[in-house]
Homo-oligomer: A and B are copies of this chain.
Amino acid sequence: MKIELINTGTELLIGDVINTNAAWLGQKLAELGLSVERATVVPDGMAIQDALGEACRRSDVVIVTGGLGPTSDDVSREAASAVLGLAIDVSDAVLKELTEFFAQRGKPVNEHNKRQAMVPHGGITLPNKHGTAPGVFLPAALGESRGLSCAVFLLPGPPRELKPMMEHEVIPRLREMLPGGEDRVCRYFKFTGLGESDISMALQNGLEAIGGLEIGYCLGKGDVDVRLSGPAGAIERAGVFCREALGEYLISDDRRLVEEVCVAMLSERGQWVATAESCTGGRIADRLTNVSGASRVLGHGFVTYANEAKTLHLGVPPELIAAHGAVSEPVAAAMAEGCLRVSGADHAVAVTGIAGPTGGTPEKPTGTVFIALASKGQPVEVRKRWFSGERERFKILTSQTALDFLRRRLSGYGLPIS
């Protein structure tokens, strides 16, 4: 089944907005086992008509986003009508909804808004719970008079309107068009602590042996998603295999990030974590507190960028810093132990390192970091890592590794050996 995307919007072409809709739609279609054959961005206005005509001649399905608003350059409805040779009706049902929507806000429907009730003849409107513009589905048979056989979906541009409509209205219809599509599911297995090639080496043969799976690897920020789509039974077997092969590196099978898994596990046990950060400057606490409910598991965090802050708030002895340097295994351990003691938490993570671009030495080059984990009643453990690259990458990978150490301890796997 050949499928194309057309995104309309001048803001995409002048770079004011990054086209994340295209990537999101591409992922959703990949989950169904469909690959987009071409994606085209055109400005607002009638440029869409040429692009849509060409796409309908090449493909079986075209998904259009944008151009359903009330203004004169929102012309996706008109363009589709012209391409498929359809008259335009005014939908009484949509007009009624629009009238009610505006009445609730004490306004009459004006002529511009009424444009949103227009539907190419034979089209099926798709409800929009987050905006006034309904989507439109034009089944392939409607293009017969022009010799076309291509189904067209007209969807709104704003992501919060587009995404639910895609999930609830478009994907079920695409499944019906696909042989065996109804039974197809997709699941993401998220791993961390191993490179993409290590993961594929460990999994590829076993996953291929299960049969019937589409396998994709996607490198995230410090983690790797293995995207599997196929029949539900095969996905089930694949999940068992992934756990057997690489269980200790598996964060989640539902796209949750490591911080979400940590907050959930701590919350379940009624345990607390505290953070002591030098080079990550608050990123670990920030990531944990991005999760709703973090206030039940994180009470105290420290950004001890200066040496005196490590001493003052965490009780790291100045002589320890003088003897080993602030970026060292003993100082990381003392930071974690001090953080545990001061906060009264059950677990404390601490990091000290050199984010760069300056501050590196031959023995401790930029990117060197010590990550420590202390837990009540257990000896503190420290691991050394080296994350090359830019400051932002360093912070992402260091915070990811620290959070993963916590996840491993909570899961009973323990820290990696080295």
Contacts and interface: CB of A to CB of B under 8 A. Distances in A.
Contacts of A209: none
A260 to B, nearest CB: 12
Top 3 nearest A-B pairs (CB, nearest first) are A281-B289, A301-B303, A299-B306
A392 B290 contact: yes
Given A37-B47, A40-B40, A281 B294 contact: yes
Interface string A1-44: 00000000010111111111011111111100001111111110
Interface residues of A, number: 74
Query: Which one of A280, A303, A355 has the greatest number of beta carbons of chain B within 10 Å?
Result: A303
Contacts of A41: 22, 38-40
A305 B289 contact: yes
Query: Which one of A15, A304, A312, A358 has the greatest number of beta carbons of chain B within 10 Å?
Result: A15
Contacts of A90: none
A2 to B, nearest CB: 11
Nearest to A399: B286
A286 B289 contact: no
B301 A216 contact: no
B42 A30 contact: no
Contacts of A17: 23
25 contacts: A14-B27, A14-B30, A14-B35, A15-B27, A15-B30, A16-B23, A16-B26, A18-B18, A18-B20, A37-B47, A277-B282, A281-B282, A281-B290, A281-B294, A282-B303, A283-B286, A285-B303, A286-B286, A289-B305, A292-B356, A292-B391, A295-B305, A299-B306, A300-B305, A300-B309
A194 interface: no
A42 to B, nearest CB: 6
Nearest to A283: B286
Majority DSSP secondary structure for residues of A touching B: mixed
Contact of A300 (B15, B300, B304): B304
B292 A286 contact: no
Contacts of A294: 281, 305
Query: Which one of A51, A312, A357 has the greatest number of beta carbons of chain B within 10 Å?
Result: A312
Contacts of A302: 301-303, 313
Interface string A242-267: 00000000000000000000000000
B43 A40 contact: no
B290 A286 contact: no
Interface in A39-70: 39-43, 47, 51, 54
Nearest to A7: B39
Contacts of A12: 22-23, 26, 39
Contacts of A303: 275, 282, 285, 289, 298, 300-303
A218 interface: yes
A305 B313 contact: no
Given A299-B306, A305-B295, A18 B15 contact: no
A383 interface: no
Interface string A229-243: 000000000000000
Given A301-B302, A303-B275, A313-B313, A18 B19 contact: yes
